[in-house]
Amino acid sequence: MSRQTEIAAALQVVPPFADEAALAAECQRRIAFIRATLQSSGLRTLVLGISGGVDSLTAGRMAQLAVEQLRAETGDAAYRFIAVRLPYAVQFDEPDAQAALAFVRADEEITVPIEPGVTALAVPIAALQALPDAQRDFALGNIKARCRMVVQYAVANAHRGLVIGTDHAAEAVMGFFTKFGDGACDLVPLNGLVKGQIRAIATHLGAPAHLVNKVPTGDLESLKPGKPDEVAYGVSYAEIDAFLQGGTVSPEAAARIIATYDASQHKRSLPLAP
C-alpha cells in the first residue's frame, strides 16, 4: 500500500461525488448522523462555534437541520442548536461571521469575547512574555483556540449538550488544528471530506457564494490576521484534495503533505501511556 493510499484510508476519505444525487445523499447521511448521535446521547442540545468560514457554516447548517428534523419527528421541542460567536477583540472578517450566522439560522446565538480570558491566562506566564514576538503570537493563537473550546464545552455543560467539531480530511492530514483546542469535540460531521466537497455541500445547502469560496484562514495569529491556510501549509487545498482522493500531484506537494502528516501524528493520537 502506498503512503498516499494508506493516509487516505486512515482519514476515511470520501471518494469524489459521482453526481449531484451522490452529493445530496452524502449531505443527508451526515445530517442523519448528527441526528442519531444526539438522540442516542440522551441529550437535546448541539453547540458549535461559528467563525465565518465554510467549515463551521456547513456543520452549523447541518446541525440546525438535524435538530429541526428531530423536533418534527419526536414532537420534543427541547431539541435545539446553539451557535456561539467567540471573537478575540475585533475580528477582521466579522461581517463574514455575521453572514454565516444569518445562513445557519440557529435556534439560539451566543457571543462570548475570549480576549479577557486569553490575556488573563497569558500575562502571568513570564516565559511566554519573554518569547520573540512571532513565537509569542503563535503560542497565543493556541491559547485562543483552547479558550474557544473551553467556552463551547461550558455552554454545552450548561445546556446538557454536545460540542460539534469541524475537522475534515484536508485539515486532518496537515494537522491544522490545535491539540485539545478546536481538535476537542464530541462529534465531527465533516470527517473524511476534502475541502472541495465541503464547499460543494455548502453550495447544495444554499450558502452564499462569497462564504463558500472565501480564502480559508485559521486567523489565530494577531500579527498576521487572515493568514491563509495554504500559506501555512506550503501547498494548496487543490493539491491536498487531489492527494487524498488518489489523484496525481507533484512530487514536491506529495512530499510536503506526507511529511506534515507524519510530523502531526501526535495530534491524531491518544495521549502516550506506558
- The CATH number of the domain where 22 resides is what? 3.40.50.620
Using the structure block, give the residue that is written with the C-alpha cell 445547502: 205
Q: Catalytic residues, which ones?
A: 55, 171
- Residue 204 · residue 231 · CB < 8 Å: no
Query: Domain for residue 2, yes or no?
Result: no
Q: Which of 136, 198, 152 is nearest to 47 (CA)?
A: 152
Query: Domain for residue 246, yes or no?
Result: no
Provide the phi-psi class of 105: left if phi over 0, else alpha when psi is between -120 and 50, else beta.
Answer: left
How many of the other CB atoms lie within 10 Å of CB of 160?
12
DSSP 148-166: HHHHHHHHHHHHTEEEB--
- Structure letter (DSSP) for residue 187: B
> The pTM is what?
0.95
- In this predicted structure, what is the pLDDT of residue 119? 95
Any residues with CB less than 8 A from the CB of 220 and at least 6 apart, and which? 140, 141, 142, 144, 145, 178
Query: Domain for residue 234, yes or no?
Result: no
Query: Domain for residue 182, yes or no?
Result: yes
Query: Domain for residue 255, yes or no?
Result: no
Q: What is the block-wise mean pLDDT of the chain (274 residues), using blocks of 10 residues?
A: 94 98 98 98 98 96 98 98 95 92 98 96 96 95 96 98 97 95 96 98 98 91 88 94 97 97 95 93
Locate 154 and state its grid cell: 461550558
Task: Please tell me the total count of domains within the chain.
Answer: 1
Interhelix angle 54-74/94-104, nearest 10 degrees: 20
Any residues with CB less than 8 A from the CB of 242 and at least 6 apart, and which? 248, 249
Query: Domain for residue 109, yes or no?
Result: yes
- Could you list the residue range(s) of the whole structural domain that residue 29 is in? 15-227
What CA–CA distances, in Å, run from 267 to 177, 183, 186, 199? 8, 8, 16, 25
R_g over Cα of the chain: 19
What is the Cα–Cα distance from 137 to 143, expressed in whole angstroms? 10
Give the chain's count of helices (H) and strands (E): 13, 4
Query: Domain for residue 189, yes or no?
Result: yes
Max CA pair span of the chain: 57
Query: Domain for residue 101, yes or no?
Result: yes
Question: Residue 110's beta-bridge partner residues?
Answer: 84
